[in-house]
Structure 1
Amino acid sequence: MIKRVQLPLQTMNLVIGFMVWVLISSLLPFIREDIAIPEGKLALVTAVPVILGSILRIPLGYYANQFGARKIFLVSFILLLFPVYYISIADSLIDLIIGGLFLGIGGAVFSVGVTSLPKYYPKERHGFVNGIYGAGNLGTAVTTFAAPVLAVKFGWSATIQIYLVILALFIAANFLLGDKKEPKVKTPLLEQIKGVYKNEKLWLLSLFYFITYGSFVAFTIYLPNFLVSNFTLDKVDAGMRTAGFIVLATAMRPIGGWLADRYHSLIILMFVFGGFTIAALVLSFAPTISWYTIGCLTIALCAGIGNGVIFKLVPMYFQKQAGIVNGIVSAMGGLGGFFPPIILSVLFDMTGHYAIGFMALSEVALASLILVIWMYYQGKMGIAKEVIDHTVEGILVTNKKGQIITVNPAFTEITGYQKNEVIGQNPSILKSGKQSQAFYEDLWQSIENNGFWQGEIWNKRKDGQQYLQWLTISTIKNDAGEVIQYAGMFSDISGREIKKA
């Protein structure tokens, strides 16, 4: 029973965390009526929770593995009570900055669930499960649209204090329903960091999430004002369109995870970044509202699917270090939502339009598409290498001139020659001298006519011992049909020969 309730409980925890995370930015128009905030300080007030909410994801992801999600959510929500109350009685800019700093805990809890929940499900469901959990970012939309309505009725201070009651309810829910027996991973932090920081997949996944989740956050923050100022829409219309963007991106997240469970995750990411590239290119040409809507909804679709896919890949590539990797990747995503609006604003002040900013997004998405394709084919080659390295047959590959360019471990096991001893050598170093020159002439004639030769042949090991092997030699050709390499696969059949005798 406790295990089954973890997915809905932790998803709702994320909803609450994100609701608290955006409290200041959602109520800022009301707060400014009572607290003087200079125009130049508005970005600082709204940015502080975003930055800390991103950076804190790294330690929270790590500690979720160490102590379990129940304790981390409990401590996080208890700590959030203090800044929420402090902001509700704030009367200065400094109060808002101090309180907002600690509101970042609400955004940081994201890395807790993506670390904890995969422990309860088989690998083939990790994508969908993390996608369902990630849909908890809908909490930003809940506060964005509900908090102002409550503030009109009760005032901004009383509205914020309502969140104290909500936090208290979820502190109790986690205390009663959180899993006390969640499996823990006790790998020391430094050991986890050493195990991942040199792995290029960590930084590639961070880049991909920087774009997908960063775009979701950036468009959510930027769209209302942009639609009003650029297309002269009224605030309600702009708000509804932004709500549509949030709902579509959020709904696509579990679908992205579901797709990643059933199809190759990297192929799905190819479509994601292909869509990003085209959509951002459309937006860069300052289109009509109709085309702008199509471009934004495409971004929402791709961002949501991409977010779901990426957190299927994290536990797949990093089983033992999932906590710290989830923290780093999700932190990069949070920062990805902070910088684009600032860059767009600077570019608009410099050029008078947003075209360069959207074009830059298109170029970064295109670069990501290329990197995903590279990862895909590198993975395929990695599988082929695994097969070659672990097969019991000896394998050697030569260039067109007959010089050995690689061998596998089984080659060394059978012949006694180490890899570095044979690279650049001719396979004739293995000859036993038992076969005549005519034998080898027939062998190569068969390869030239048929593309391969197969049969028994006597060779010798490094120590001079002769043995009988079953050998297959095949030609490797390029797309033009030209021979570029030769591959030999063999096994030691001396034992069988002795038995026959």
Structure 2
Amino acid sequence: MIKKLQLPLQTMNLVVGFMVWVIISSLIPFIREDIAIAPERLAIVTAVPVVLGSILRIPLGYYANVFGARIIFLVSFVLLLFPVFYLSEASSFSDLIISGLFLGIGGAVFSVGVTSLPKYYPKEKHGFVNGIYGAGNIGTAISTFAAPLIATQIGWSATVKVYLILLLLFAALNFFLGDRHEPKVKTPIIEQIKSVYKNEKLWFFSLFYFITFGSFVAFTIYLPNFLVSNFELEKVDAGMRTAGFIALATFLRPIGGWLADKLQPLLLLMGTFFIYTIAAIVLAFSPTIGLYTIGSLAIAVSAGIGNGVIFKLVPFYFNKQAGIANGIVSMMGGLGGFFPPIMLSVIFSITGQYSIGFMLLSQVALASLVLVVWMYYQDRLLLAVEVFNSTGQGILVTDTSGNIRTVNPAFTKLTGYEERDVIGQNPSIMKSGRQSKNFYRDMWQEIERNGVWQGEIWNLRKNGEEYLQWLNISAVKDDTGEVVRYVGTFTDITSEYEKKITVPELLPN
């Protein structure tokens, strides 16, 4: 029963964590009425919670494996009580920076669930499960929508204090309903980092999540104030529009994970970054509120599906190091939400517009699209290499001149020849001399005529021992019909041949 509760419990934990994480950006229009914040400092105030919320994802992901999600969520919610109370009493820019920094714990809990929950489900459901959990980032929408409404009634300071009750409630729920017997993994953190940091896929996924989740966070903290200052919307209206952006991205996250379970994840990412590129270009031209809405919603669609797909891929490629890999990738996503608002603020202060910033986003998305395409074809190539290396049949590949270009490990096992012994050589170095010239002439005539030949042939191992092969030679052609190489596959059938000639005939009495 407790195990079945983990997905809903941990998803709600994430909702609460993200609600706390974005308190400042949700209430910044109200806070500015009481605390003077210079325009050039505004982006820093709203982005600061993202810093600790990103960096802490690595240790929280690791310790979720060591101690279990129950302990990490419980401790995180207790620790959040202090910065939330401090924020409610804030009266200066410094107070906002200090409280905001430690509110980042709310965003850091993301890596706890994506590390813990896959332990309860088979691999083919990891995308959907992590997508459901990731939908907990709806907490940012709840805060963005509800906090301004409550603040108009009781003030922003009292609104912040309401979150203290929520944190205490969920600390208690985790104490009583968290899984005390979750499987633990206690590999030292340095060993886990060493085992993953050289893997290029880790950094590709980090870049992709930097864009998908980073843009989600960036738009969450950037939109409320931008819509008020640039389009002169009411604060509650701006909050509701931002909540719509968040809700759409959040709803599509589990769908992205589900699709990644059913389809090729890298193909889905290609579509994601294609949409990103187009949407960012639209936003770069400083459109009307209508076009700006369309562009923002396209970003939300891409962010939601992309986030779901990426956290299908991470545990798939890093099953044994899921905690640390999830932490690193999700950290980069969080940092992706820190830099864009500051960058946009700086660009606006210099140029008076945001166009350059959005054009940069479109170029990074386009570069990511190219990388995903490269990964897709690299994976297909690696699959072919794995089949080539793992098959039990000997394989040799020659060019059209008959020179050997490559062989597989089974070739070495069957013939005794190492790869370095035969590369550039003609397969005739293995001739036994048993077959006549006419045999080889007829064989190549059939290959030229039909593109394939198969049959028995005697050859020599490196040690001079004769053995009988069942050999298949195929001509490989390009799109124009020209032969570009020959592939030979063979098995050793000497033992079958010997059995046939040694079985004594049954004689009559």
Same fold (TM over 0.5): yes
Distance 2:246 2:378 in 1: 34
Change (3 A) 1:354 1:95: closer
- Asked if residue 302 in structure 1 is aligned to residue 279 in structure 2, the reply is no
- Asked if residue 2 in structure 1 is aligned to residue 9 in structure 2, the reply is no
1:361 alignment partner in structure 2? 361
Output aligned runs, 1:25-40, within 5 Å. 25-40=25-40
Residue aligned with 2:3, SS: coil
Distance 2:362 2:38 in 1: 34
Question: Unmatched 5+ residue regions in structure 2?
Answer: 502-509
Change (3 A) 1:162 1:228: closer
Output aligned runs, 1:70-89, within 5 Å. 70-89=70-89
Distance 2:171 2:274 in 1: 42
Distance 1:243 1:418 in 2: 64
Distance 1:199 1:451 in 2: 41
Residue-by-residue CA offset, 1:343-392 (whole Å, 9 max, x unaligned): 22222333333322222222211211111111111111222222221111
Distance 1:42 1:349 in 2: 12
- Asked if residue 345 in structure 1 is aligned to residue 345 in structure 2, the reply is yes
Residue-by-residue CA offset, 1:72-101 (whole Å, 9 max, x unaligned): 001111111122222223333333322222
- Asked if residue 497 in structure 1 is aligned to residue 497 in structure 2, the reply is yes
Change (3 A) 1:128 1:147: same
Output aligned runs, 1:81-480, within 5 Å. 81-480=81-480
Residue aligned with 1:281, SS: helix
Distance 2:259 2:389 in 1: 31
Worse-matched range after superposition: 146-155 or 413-422: 146-155
Letter in 2 for 1:149: L
Distance 2:383 2:355 in 1: 42
Q: Does structure 1 conserve the Cα–Cα contact (< 8 Å) formed by 2:48 and 2:338?
A: no
> Post-superposition shift, 1:28?
3.0
Residue aligned with 2:65, SS: helix
Q: TM-score scaled by structure 2? A: 0.95
Distance 1:204 1:45 in 2: 29
Change (3 A) 1:208 1:290: same
Distance 2:287 2:499 in 1: 81
Letter in 2 for 1:465: E
- Asked if residue 56 in structure 1 is aligned to residue 56 in structure 2, the reply is yes
Distance 2:92 2:288 in 1: 42
Letter in 1 for 2:406: T
> Post-superposition shift, 1:313?
0.5
Q: Does structure 1 conserve the Cα–Cα contact (< 8 Å) formed by 2:206 and 2:328?
A: yes
Change (3 A) 1:210 1:279: same
Letter in 1 for 2:175: F
Distance 1:211 1:89 in 2: 34
Distance 1:496 1:233 in 2: 84
Residue aligned with 1:3, SS: helix
Distance 1:322 1:127 in 2: 14
- Asked if residue 484 in structure 1 is aligned to residue 484 in structure 2, the reply is yes
Worse-matched range after superposition: 421-430 or 302-311: 421-430
Worse-matched range after superposition: 145-154 or 132-141: 145-154
Residue-by-residue CA offset, 1:101-150 (whole Å, 9 max, x unaligned): 21111110000001001111111111111111111111112122222332
Residue aligned with 2:273, SS: helix
CA RMSD of aligned residues (A): 1.6
Residue aligned with 1:4, SS: helix
Distance 2:41 2:291 in 1: 34
Percent of pairs identical after alignment? 73
Residue-by-residue CA offset, 1:172-229 (whole Å, 9 max, x unaligned): 1000000001011111111111111010100010111111111111122222333344
Change (3 A) 1:23 1:287: closer
Residue aligned with 2:2, SS: coil
Worse-matched range after superposition: 490-499 or 79-88: 79-88
Residue-by-residue CA offset, 1:268-315 (whole Å, 9 max, x unaligned): 111111111222222223333333222221111111001011001011
Distance 2:130 2:440 in 1: 60
Worse-matched range after superposition: 461-470 or 360-369: 360-369
Residue-by-residue CA offset, 1:145-169 (whole Å, 9 max, x unaligned): 2223323333333222221111111
Change (3 A) 1:32 1:281: closer
Q: How many residues get paired?
A: 501
Letter in 1 for 2:193: I
Letter in 2 for 1:91: S
Letter in 2 for 1:213: F
Q: Does structure 1 conserve the Cα–Cα contact (< 8 Å) formed by 2:148 and 2:236?
A: no
Q: Does structure 1 conserve the Cα–Cα contact (< 8 Å) formed by 2:344 and 2:354?
A: yes
Change (3 A) 1:79 1:232: closer
Distance 1:487 1:190 in 2: 45
Distance 1:327 1:18 in 2: 16
Residue-by-residue CA offset, 1:237-277 (whole Å, 9 max, x unaligned): 43332222111111100110111111111111111111112
Worse-matched range after superposition: 245-254 or 79-88: 79-88
Distance 1:406 1:127 in 2: 38
Q: TM-score scaled by structure 1? A: 0.96
Question: Unmatched 5+ residue regions in structure 1?
Answer: none
Distance 1:154 1:238 in 2: 19
Letter in 1 for 2:490: F
Letter in 2 for 1:442: D
2:22 alignment partner in structure 1? 22
Letter in 2 for 1:139: G
Distance 1:243 1:468 in 2: 73
Distance 1:280 1:182 in 2: 43
Q: Does structure 1 conserve the Cα–Cα contact (< 8 Å) formed by 2:35 and 2:91?
A: yes
Worse-matched range after superposition: 45-54 or 125-134: 45-54
Change (3 A) 1:445 1:385: same
Letter in 2 for 1:75: V
Letter in 1 for 2:359: M
Residue-by-residue CA offset, 1:22-42 (whole Å, 9 max, x unaligned): 222323333344444444433
Residue aligned with 1:454, SS: strand
Distance 2:315 2:138 in 1: 23
Letter in 1 for 2:455: G
Distance 1:208 1:494 in 2: 53
